[in-house]
Amino acid sequence: MKKNISKILIANRGEIAIRVIRTCRDLGIPTVAVYSNADVASPHVRLAGESVYLGKSASSESYLNMDKIIAAAHKTHADAIHPGYGFLSENAVFSKRCADEGLIFIGPSAESISKMGDKTKAREMMKKAGVPLSPGTTEAVRSIEEAEKVADEIGYPVLIKAAAGGGGKGMRIIENKEAFKSGIRAAQSEARNAFGDDRVFVEKFLQEPHHVEFQIIADQHGKVLHLFDRECSIQRRYQKVVEEAPCAFITPEMREKMSLAACEAARSCNYVGAGTVEFLVDKHRNFYFMEMNTRLQVEHPVTELITGVDLVELQIRVAEGLPLPLEQEDISIHGHAIESRICAEDPYEQFLPSSGLLQRHRIPAGPGVRVDAGYEEGQQVTINYDPLMSKVCTHGRDRREAIQRMKRALREYEISGLQTTIPFCYYVMNHPAFVNAEYDTFFVKEKFRPGDMQLLDDLKTGDQAAAVASALLYQLKSGELSNHKQHDGTVAATTGETEWWRKRK
């Protein structure tokens, strides 16, 4: 049923709230921001047409409080809610509450969220739909003994995963039979604490796995389209840090098969809206369904850059009941895109959270660079929420140009006051495994050496002296004298970084 949306409340914060506000402005739709104590001075509050205070900084008293968010929508006469990602975006109860309150939830139905949110139910549906699954159970195991029997049958190593969760919580890789019982108990305990549900299932752990996902969009009239793939294998603690589109590892034939499987996965649960079907691909290029994220993804900008499609706009139009204005043949890949997540974490100290006053924040610009930022200079970055501060995306005619532009953007990005993942992302761009597209989900564990990030100590500290020392150290390591230019307090090393890596071997 078609219904024009007159005002959208964004039940989120930071860069995704700003992202949604900007598309709403393009469409001429008024917006409402919500905020907590920690976000009183956040830019998303200022950019929205209206704003409503939710409560204290704790998520449970603000961005996760359904009653307060729905009351804010009614108070401001908003007739739709965009959940962004995280918080309530994949909460079936919230989706249903919105429908019951006469509000349009800009996302899938409660039924679709529920089906795909339970990993065992999702595996059962995929099996019926003919979507490839890795060897293992389709249902939660009833006992440790049953799980151990399955592990013996499919062979070690195995993966224990929470039935009710995601994001790496309740997940354990178990290498051998001796470690099985302690490993599964640890996974159950973590799942219970994270989701209030200790059900787990067992699947075969794949060697040298790639995390490859497909963006889909579906309308209320039965049309399901895909917008191609993204590789998301650069992760720490099962959380993505660098993504690219399209995936350089899969073949065109694989891309065709995987896109068909992704669309079939969406049809199996009568999906409506934007979603992502995630696969694991082994070293032999066999692919297996992993899960479906029933929301917009953090990394959606790289898909927008290679397709020229505004996914938030499509989300809104689909929620209004309009048919998708595209056919599959209208969507094609143009060039290559990369995203670096700039998080308030210290890559020198095992990516521990960092917080503090954002004393300096100068974002990069120039050809092929897009930055979605949720913070401004002078703001306090706290540990109350997700550590994501901004996303740097680059687009090029090919993968090489996208990498070069990312290196430029990361060199230009200036942050001081706290530690960030900028040095790590720059490290990735220069590593031969990434440059040659020969990496998998074990990149951080097997190839990352924090001691090799001195090249970007200037970006870690924001200090001029450290910048000079870092550039000089880089020259010494490379064995070459590089020209460096000083301008407005910045130093740029200009030798070939890939050559430096080659000489270290």
**Are the C-beta atoms of residues 347 and 421 closer than 8 Å to each other?**
yes
Distance CA 379, CA 40 (A): 10
Distance CA 114, CA 271 (A): 11
Alpha helices in 178-251 (DSSP H): 180-195
**Are the C-beta atoms of residues 338 and 407 closer than 8 Å to each other?**
no
Distance CA 281, CA 134 (A): 10
DSSP 8-state class, residue 179: G
- Interaxial angle between packed helices 119-129 and 252-268, expressed in degrees from 0 to 180 and rounded to the nearest 10: 110
Catalytic hit among 13, 97, 295, 370: 295
**Are the C-beta atoms of residues 460 and 427 closer than 8 Å to each other?**
no
- Those residues whose C-beta lies under 8 Å from the C-beta of residue 182, and which sit 6 or more positions away, are none
User: 61-81: b or e for each residue (b if 16 or more CB lie within 10 Å)?
Assistant: ebbbbeebbbebbeebebbbb
Q: What are the two backbone dihedrals, phi and then psi, of residue 345, each rounded to the nearest 5 degrees?
A: -140, 155
> Is 192 in the active site?
no
Q: Which of 94, 319, 301 is nearest to 218 (CA)?
A: 319
Active site residues: 295
